[in-house]
Homo-oligomer: A and B are copies of this chain.
Amino acid sequence: MSTPARHTDSAPTLATVAEEAGVSRQTVSNALNSPDLLRPDTLVRVQQAIDKLGYSPNRAARSLRTRSSQLIGLRVDPAVEDTANALMDRFVHSLVESTEVAGYHVLLFTAGADDDANEPYDALLRSAAVDAFVVTDTFRGNPHADWLSRQGVPFVAFGRPWDEPAAPHPWVDVDGRAGVTLAVDHLVERAHSRIAWVGWQKGSLIGEDRRSGWVARMHEHGLSTSRLSARGDDSLEFGQRAAHALLDVSPDDRPTGFVCASDTLAMGIIRALADRGLVPGHNLAVVGFDDSIAAQVCTPALTSVRQPLEQVAVEVVRFLGELLAHRPIENPSLVLTPTLSVRATS
């Protein structure tokens, strides 16, 4: 088997393999990159030499020559502990798996303490450390997308360019509006008619999109939305306050169902209900958004809209492949539909 401490020895190179197989360096290179160029018997001979020596091409050398690092940059923001961040975990896992299938790896970086949040993107690209980026900004729009586009930086976004629907870069997004529609339908089926919305400020276009699903579907069901909407920041505290405010009205006006822009807000509502000695379930329902781990393990378990992150990752990587191969993408945008994970709170 392998010698101990082998990794302190010098590794075999193309030249080593070539000598072992009795061919030239280029032939070994071809055996790896375009095997169909070789005569079958030569290919076998080279393969045996490669296996015998345990050879793997040096990525730095290949990268230098081909001008491609086979790395995809992904920015991870400073660790804010909330449910949305935990959501990224699922996405990152899927992304890593998908990129590997395509022969790439994922490189993580942060914005650092720098004033200019674009700087790290530029630096990584200038030094040819990565071939492209995956940009994710799920809460508000993509502040970087615009700048990156103008700079000619290759990237694919998770999240659509709200401010500029005709943006040229490829993107994949989840239909938040459709997700909320699912939630409303679900509560209507459960005989709820006064269904409230607890979401984000008007500034968040994602928030407005999700909210629009509530407004539209409520009206389609012939239900009123008046005085049933609350807007604030994405915090448990706001969810809690909003629920209390919505419930502090005459009994007939009280909502019996809550649809939220995030699981964090939904958790706040559950806490507000607990403050009042209430538990969501049959008569009172709460639906979150993101299907975070917290939604799954809390008691009672939270019904939540689940984004198909695995599929998002796959599609993002597909776009990346096209982009890096300089193939034109006929339809560089894709909207996927979420599902509803029904649990105890509804």
Contacts and interface: CB of A to CB of B under 8 A. Distances in A.
B129 A105 contact: yes
Interface string A185-227: 0000000000000000000000000000000000000000000
A321 to B, nearest CB: 18
Interface stretch (A146-154, A176-184, A250-258): A146-154
Interface in A260-276: 263-264, 267, 270-271, 274
Given A81-B90, A83-B297, A96-B110, 16 more contacts: A8-B152, A54-B126, A56-B123, A57-B127, A58-B127, A59-B69, A76-B92, A76-B96, A79-B93, A105-B129, A106-B108, A107-B107, A236-B297, A292-B293, A292-B294, A297-B298
A237 to B, nearest CB: 11
A270 B299 contact: yes
List the 6 closest A-B pairs by CB distance, nearest first.
A5-B152, A79-B93, A60-B63, A294-B294, A298-B298, A56-B126
Interface of A: 2, 4-8, 11, 54-61, 63-64, 69, 71, 76-79, 81-83, 85-86, 88-90, 92-94, 96-97, 100, 105-110, 112, 123, 125-129, 150-154, 236, 263-264, 267, 270-271, 274, 292-294, 296-300
A77 B100 CA distance: 13
**Copies of this subunit:** 2
A4 B153 CA distance: 10
A86 to B, nearest CB: 5
A128 B293 contact: no
30 contacts: A4-B152, A7-B153, A7-B154, A11-B128, A55-B126, A56-B127, A57-B127, A58-B64, A58-B127, A60-B61, A61-B64, A63-B63, A76-B92, A81-B293, A85-B293, A86-B89, A89-B89, A92-B108, A100-B109, A100-B112, A105-B108, A107-B107, A108-B108, A236-B297, A271-B299, A274-B299, A274-B300, A292-B294, A294-B294, A294-B297
Contacts of A274: 299-300
Contacts of A78: 93, 97
Contact of A93 (B76, B267, B270): B76
A267 B100 contact: no
Given A59-B127, A61-B64, A293 B82 contact: yes
Given A59-B128, A299-B271, A97 B110 contact: yes
Contact of A297 (B59, B96, B264): B264
Contacts of A105: 107-109, 129
A219 B98 CA distance: 51
A151 B293 CA distance: 37
A151 B2 contact: yes
A89 B85 contact: yes
A109 B300 CA distance: 36
A151 to B, nearest CB: 6
Contacts of A264: 297
B90 A89 contact: no
